[in-house]
């Protein structure tokens, strides 16, 4: 990955490409700022003028409804002009094609590009070649990173548990293909989580995950022992080119969150999922919005987190 600095010479955010390497103070400031937008929204103050006159282009090379919509809504609530582009992509359309795309859209006087791409490193590529003053916000690149999802997960945990430091967190499911997992692990580690566990069959555990600070489990019941937070991950069947699993039924039996498993969790433990949910696979269907679930809170927090990131990058330059 190219060495693109996410912070300027004064330590201010100029791009958001990954949570890896960002200081705890920067993450905490973004969470605090998102909380301010949530408080303002509860008081009926949803619209803000900090990006008035700015142009944000959502450039999505992968299909997305939830993420694209929340980025669009976040930019509009900050009064930016927003353009949404859904771009067909293939594995051979990197390199000069991406460069040409960037330069063509820069000529439209864009201030920020929100990029989603199936290739790891695509957002870094844009940031490395963007003109001075043009910001890049990574909305998910391949298996690499999904930093705003990581931030909204951290915010949701902090709201429910009052802190990140000292917590035991277990990520369950398709760790191998999950950019959400990597961003969550980086953020949790930076903010002082006591234990980060990952639970999945061996075929869905990536090499080197322990080096990120995660403990690997292949027994879900052991992994869930005394945890404070359970983060379920979607099985990304669209990224599975080989036989990663015997069957979805066996995955649910061994790694699905069932009523029986949930009953053994501590009373205060919460259940998260970035969506979309495969009901009856990652979680029993009627538990998706049950009393432990904070899934809808994650969706709501996504808008506030994306507003906070956009304002800290573009609003700070105004």
Mean pLDDT per block of 10 residues along the chain (318 residues) reads: 82 96 97 97 94 95 86 97 77 61 84 94 93 95 95 98 98 94 97 98 93 96 98 78 72 94 96 90 90 94 97 80
- The pLDDT of residue 1: 53
- The pLDDT of residue 318: 47
- The pLDDT of residue 94: 53
Residue 147 has which token pair? 């930093």
Reading across the β-sheet that carries 229-232, which strands appear in turn? 215-217, 195-199, 168-172, 229-232, 270-272
Q: Is the peptide bond before 95 cis (omega within 30 degrees of 0)?
A: no
Residue 133 has which token pair? 């003053």
pTM score, whole prediction: 0.92
User: What is the spatial distance between Cα 131 and Cα 109, in angstroms, rounded to a whole number?
Assistant: 10
- The pLDDT of residue 317: 56
189 CB contacts (<8 Å, ≥6 apart)? 196, 212, 213
Nearest in space to 294 (alpha carbons), one of 193, 156, 149, 184: 156
- The pLDDT of residue 264: 95
User: What is the spatial distance between Cα 52 and Cα 315, in angstroms, rounded to a whole number?
Assistant: 9
211 CB contacts (<8 Å, ≥6 apart)? none
In the chain, which ranges are continuous DSSP H helix? 24-42, 66-77, 96-106, 122-129, 147-161, 179-190, 220-223, 248-255, 259-263, 295-314
Residue 82 has which token pair? 């927003």
Reading across the β-sheet that carries 55-60, which strands appear in turn? 81-86, 55-60, 112-117, 135-141
């Amino acid at each position: 990955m190219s060495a693109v600095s996410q912070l300027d010479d004064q330590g201010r955010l100029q791009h958001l490409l990954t949570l890896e390497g960002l200081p705890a103070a920067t993450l905490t400031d973004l969470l605090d700022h998102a909380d301010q937008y949530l408080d303002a929204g509860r008081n009926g103050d949803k619209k803000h003028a900090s990006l008035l006159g700015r142009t944000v282009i959502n450039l999505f090379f992968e299909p997305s409804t939830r993420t694209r919509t929340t980025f669009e809504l976040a930019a509009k609530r900050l009064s930016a002009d927003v353009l949404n582009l859904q771009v067909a992509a293939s594995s051979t359309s990197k390199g000069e094609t991406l460069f040409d795309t960037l330069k063509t859209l820069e000529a439209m006087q864009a201030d920020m590009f929100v990029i989603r791409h199936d290739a790891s490193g695509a957002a870094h590529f844009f940031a490395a070649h963007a003109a001075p003053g043009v910001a890049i916000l990574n909305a998910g690149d391949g298996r690499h990173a999904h930093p705003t999802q990581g931030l909204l997960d951290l915010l949701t945990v902090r709201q429910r548990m009052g802190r990140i430091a000292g917590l035991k967190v277990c990520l369950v499911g398709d760790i191998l293909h999950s950019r959400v997992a990597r961003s969550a692990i980086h953020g949790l580690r930076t903010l002082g989580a006591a234990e980060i566990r990952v639970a999945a069959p061996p075929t869905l555990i990536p090499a080197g995950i322990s080096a990120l600070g995660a403990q690997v489990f292949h027994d879900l019941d052991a992994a869930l022992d005394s945890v404070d937070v359970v983060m379920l991950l979607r099985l990304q069947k669209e990224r599975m080119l080989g036989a990663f699993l015997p069957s979805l039924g066996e995955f649910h039996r061994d790694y699905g969150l069932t009523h029986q498993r949930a009953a053994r969790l501590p009373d205060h433990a919460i259940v998260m999922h970035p969506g979309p949910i495969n009901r009856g696979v990652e979680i029993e269907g009627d538990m998706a919005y049950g009393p432990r679930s904070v899934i809808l809170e994650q969706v709501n927090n996504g808008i506030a987190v994306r507003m906070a990131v956009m304002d800290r990058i573009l609003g700070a330059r105004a």
